[in-house]
Chains A and B, each alone.
Chain A
């Protein structure tokens, strides 16, 4: 296992972002140690120098404006620097490169499930290629969870009914622990997983099913979007939604993903994961302008995994 960082205070650094976070961590630590020593040092030295036996008569001091300005301005300045630095590093953490390889993750009491574009799904183990940006799109099946990979310094809550995401680019092949960081009930501390980082070539082999890794694919993999297509047929979506742009009972699926839709109250909304999920679970919540609210809810019928597959399918219908 890789070395811990910064006198063992931080986990190993397995991404570029981790290094950025750690530099800031070290800077804040330096500042903190300085101010801690200053405050405690002054307190103890005053306590020694001005104890009643040594200094029976106190000096009457009420205020000292220059000093007060100083101890207001200096911390403000330092905190300002830390704030800006922190935000710059965070910007890198929050915006995934467009080229990122997407994996969908579902937290459920008490395991992590991952769905890959080629159709495999894994439980507990997250397979990713080294040196390539990977974006994890998170949701939850039940309560809040939080995907936390200490070695990557990333963490994001998995919220039921919502899609959140995080991204990373792992430096080297290796393994890294995954924790659930948001308290989720009885077995919260047992909701563990690990990231398995592979050489890109090896990852491709795994993806194509050639690699006979034990916990990988579930038999013959059907790619996620093809699974989604099959689901739209199975659930009868295609009876009302076309895939060629023609309007049937409902709007066509073609070119739907990412477009700006006008709703019955004339408000606009960009079609994204959350909107699609809501359209399936709660169709009446937002009704498209010009259509009747005839779509029935699929709540209880479709699983989070199914919704992920349908989203993947709709994304392909450009």
Chain B
């Protein structure tokens, strides 16, 4: 087996055959691929719920379903997309596949644990999804008490599922951190680590520290039920606002679990396609960690209208502004990386530029929401819906799309066609903006979120949104078609099609079972293209 890696034609995909060899694999690459297909399957389900929501909102009042069903649609859309898709999206797929290869390692530090985390994720996801089979959830993905306590069984089940998935995330995180510390190739010093690794590292720390709070929340929910001690339920003397504190103490950092890895990917893609080193490597790494730290102390910005004290609002608003500064640093540094580069517009670069666009809009609209006076008017309206779709959805999805187009040749050993890729990117990009930009206007004009019915003045804005959402869907269908086609009969990918400098490109596409036929040695930075021809 040790020799086989070098053998001609042998790679991780055909190294062992049969479904069982996949289900019991401890190869980080195969686990990454399994995650990829699983997460995308949930993305499909969450996406269908999104389309149903948009269809219902095409006109005021009853369009396709009643209010109760509509409430379940958006609750499932949010829950699936947040907990089953966007949180694990990049760490579980590219984290698993690319991170060890970035480091020049043969695998993660604990391969078996890695497989366990995959099954925990599946278990948690199915547990949460199983609520669909009976009473269902209709309290939104935020599960605010006491509404969510009216269907406590479902809420407990979903949060248990979320926690198990979070636990899977913790295991993966520990695995990645250990791998980064212990398994770096010779010469791969800390200041030569690709920024994707730094982004993953920061993400992992957040996962390890924040997820236990979710467990605590869950424990209190169960204790409240079983022992009758009031924590969140006002009829038992509990405090519903306390639930919001707990919830956002986990869920705000979770926003950065979603976005930091995407930033990491953009950090890889822009230099490669600009043929230039990343601008200010150190500031980029520092900004990532700055965001990760601040992530823990801004949760109260979700609660300016909740009745929390003015002093708390004051501090949360102030600290949140720091996120803006750190994000600004990153955006400007990406632009500076493009400056005087030699830019090629392959699909990954197109997606990276789409990322900069949507993320800039998302970031700037965050200023309105972190400023208390304007937030009072805008919170819980469609403005917020638009804002977080631009940041965490726009950010994570465009980042992921940049990543999948960048690493597809490595993962599957095939090249896709650039033409359809550009078309799909344009469809999703335009559709996305058409979907969510009108929602800023609906929101600032006063349309509250999670509304089944709305005033006629909001009709045309909602119709634009619905049309846009179907454009996005078509864009993703096109993507699925050309990527599947490429998998089956795309041209064979060379080892390093984009002329990248990171280690995963020093081995065959797809990589052999052991990743590298000879242990790689690093002699230059991750974005040093001086000796690489394209």
Seen from chain A, the residues whose Cβ lies within 8 Å of a Cβ on chain B are 4, 8-11, 20-21, 24-25, 28, 31-32, 35-36, 39-40, 42-43, 46-47, 50-52, 55-64, 67-68, 71-72, 75-76, 79-80, 82-83, 85-87, 89-90, 93-94, 142-144, 146, 148, 150-151, 153-157, 159-162, 164, 177, 179-190, 282, 285, 299
Contacts and interface: CB of A to CB of B under 8 A. Distances in A.
A68 B240 contact: no
Contacts of A90: 310, 313, 372-373, 376
A142 B318 CA distance: 33
A159 B307 contact: yes
Contacts of B329: 68, 71-72
A266 to B, nearest CB: 22
Given A58-B275, A184-B147, A150 B335 contact: no
Interface in B283-333: 283, 305-307, 310, 313-314, 317-318, 321, 324-325, 328-329, 331-333
A88 to B, nearest CB: 8
B367 interface: yes
Contacts of A93: 373, 376
B339 interface: yes
A292 to B, nearest CB: 21
Contacts of B305: 146, 155-157, 181
Interface in B337-366: 338-345, 353, 356-357, 360-361, 364-365
Contacts of A72: 325, 328-329
B68 A82 contact: no
| A interface majority secondary structure | mixed
Contacts of A185: 71, 138, 147, 150
A142 to B, nearest CB: 7
Contacts of A85: 371, 373
Contact of B448 (A55, A68, A76, A189): A189
B23 to A, nearest CB: 40
Contacts of A186: 67-68, 71, 138
A159 B321 contact: no
Interface in B440-470: 441, 444-446, 448-455
Contacts of B376: 21, 90, 93, 153-155
Contacts of B353: 43, 47
Given A87-B372, A161-B239, A162-B307, A188 B450 contact: yes
B374 interface: yes
A181 B381 contact: yes
B331 A159 contact: no
B5 to A, nearest CB: 34
A181 B385 CA distance: 13
Contact of A142 (B139, B146, B317): B146
B146 A183 contact: no
Contacts of A153: 376-377
| B interface majority secondary structure | helix
A68 B305 CA distance: 36
Given A39-B356, A146-B305, A155-B379, A61 B340 contact: yes
Contacts of B361: 36
Contacts of B450: 183, 188-189
Nearest to B140: A183
A75 B277 contact: no
B237 A79 contact: no
A171 to B, nearest CB: 17
Given A61-B340, A189-B452, A25 B374 contact: yes
A85 B368 CA distance: 12
Interface of B: 67-68, 71, 138-140, 144, 146-147, 150, 234-235, 237, 239-241, 274-277, 279-283, 305-307, 310, 313-314, 317-318, 321, 324-325, 328-329, 331-333, 335-336, 338-345, 353, 356-357, 360-361, 364-365, 367-368, 370-374, 376-377, 379-381, 441, 444-446, 448-455, 529-530
A157 B370 CA distance: 18
B340 A161 contact: no
B342 A40 contact: no
Name, among A8, A25, A67, A83, the residue most crowded by chain B CB atoms within 10 Å (CB to CB).
A83
A111 B307 CA distance: 20
Nearest to B69: A186
B371 A50 contact: no
Contact of B310 (A20, A94, A144): A94
A36 B371 CA distance: 19
A28 B341 contact: no
Given A71-B329, A144-B147, A183-B450, A43 B317 contact: no
Nearest to A32: B364
Contacts of B241: 159, 162
A21 B373 contact: yes
Contacts of B324: 75, 79
Given A61-B336, A181-B449, 20 more contacts: A11-B445, A25-B377, A47-B353, A55-B343, A64-B279, A64-B280, A79-B324, A86-B317, A86-B372, A143-B150, A148-B381, A155-B377, A162-B241, A177-B455, A183-B139, A183-B144, A183-B380, A185-B138, A188-B452, A189-B451
Name, among B239, B339, B441, B446, the residue most crowded by chain A CB atoms within 10 Å (CB to CB).
B446
Contact of B360 (A8, A36, A58, A161): A36
A252 B314 CA distance: 39
Contacts of B146: 142-144, 160
A22 to B, nearest CB: 9
